[in-house]
Copies of this chain bind each other. A is one copy, B any other.
Amino acid sequence: MPEPKIFRIIDKIVFDYSLIEDGDKILIGASGGKDSTVLIEYFAKRKKQNRDNFEFLALYVESGLGEVFNEELKAMIESWDVKIQTVNANVITRLKPNKKMNCWWCTTQRRTELKNYAVKNGFNKIALGHHLDDVLETLLMNALQKGELSTMTPKFKYEKYPVTIIRPLSLVDEKTIIAHAKENGYKNMTCTCTYQNNSSRKEARCRLQNLTDDNYKQKRRLFDALKNIKTEYLP
């Protein structure tokens, strides 16, 4: 059976940006959602191919808001010979007085937990499930709200910590992930917290779809443009 197309797209960026290198110890941020599950499936498959010398672990950072990792999903991931580790970020108890919970803050807390776990346990890379739409939405938000050309990169080295963030799904659009998740019977586990209100990202999603006709080729060209900056033709 040939590799699914989604894995060939991931292969490309792993190669282009050397996302997996000899001796890597990679911590995958597992959220229970489709994106990080694709990531786990890819790493599990790649590990079995014995193409490279690396280790990985999937870490589920509970928010402490009451959500539980879907049992069927867990069983499926274990059928790939992957164990899911769990830590609790207790985002509620960390909240300072008079501060409101929000998606951004919760994400930041869980990211910190992930980073601390990596540093403490000798992981040199953290793999996150951000995909092409996330990358381009962030680009639009940063440009239109901050007047800044920037976004999340496929490979980002923390300055203060001996850890590099990698985003192997940077070239994969969400539609392809959804199709793969359906075909392979991924069980859904959506964020159950009652604090969700990320209108800014929803707006950016809408702008991105209008901008690119929600078309993969156009999104890829927009991504490519970020690597092909002609400064002499910019103000």
Residues of A within 8 A of B (CB): 135, 140, 142-154, 156, 170, 207, 210-212, 218, 220-235
Q: Which of B150, B211, B228, B233 contacts A151 (CB 8 A)?
A: B233
B233 contacts A153, C-beta separation under 8 Å = yes
Q: Which B residue's beta carbon lies closest to that of A203?
A: B213
10 closest Cβ pairs, A-B complex: A150-B233, A147-B224, A210-B210, A150-B230, A143-B225, A147-B221, A149-B229, A149-B225, A148-B228, A226-B234
Q: Are A143 and B227 in contact (CB under 8 A)?
A: no
Q: Within 8 Å CB of A135, what residues of B?
A: 235
Question: A143 vs B222: C-alpha distance in the bound complex, in angstroms?
Answer: 5
Partner of A140, one of B211, B224, B235: B211
Among A142, A221, A224, A235, the most chain B Cβ lie within 10 Å of the Cβ of A235
**Across the interface, which residues of B come within 8 angstroms of A154, CB to CB?**
235
Given B147, B153, B232, which contacts A235 in the complex, CB threshold below 8 Å? B153
Q: A153-B233, A170-B235, A235-B153 are in contact. Are A148 and B210 (CB under 8 A)?
A: no
CA distance A212 to B229 in the complex (A): 22
How far apart are the CA atoms of A178 and B220 in the complex, in Å? 35
Among B212, B231, B232, the residue within 8 A (CB) of A144 is B212
* Contact A225 B142, beta carbon cutoff 8 Å: yes
Chain B proximity of A227: nearest CB distance (Å): 6
Show 27 A/B contacts (Cβ-Cβ < 8 Å), sorted by A. A135-B235, A140-B211, A142-B225, A144-B211, A144-B218, A144-B221, A145-B221, A147-B221, A147-B225, A148-B225, A149-B225, A149-B226, A149-B229, A150-B233, A151-B233, A151-B235, A152-B233, A153-B232, A170-B235, A207-B211, A210-B210, A226-B234, A227-B234, A227-B235, A229-B229, A229-B231, A229-B234
Nearest CB of B to A126, in Å? 17
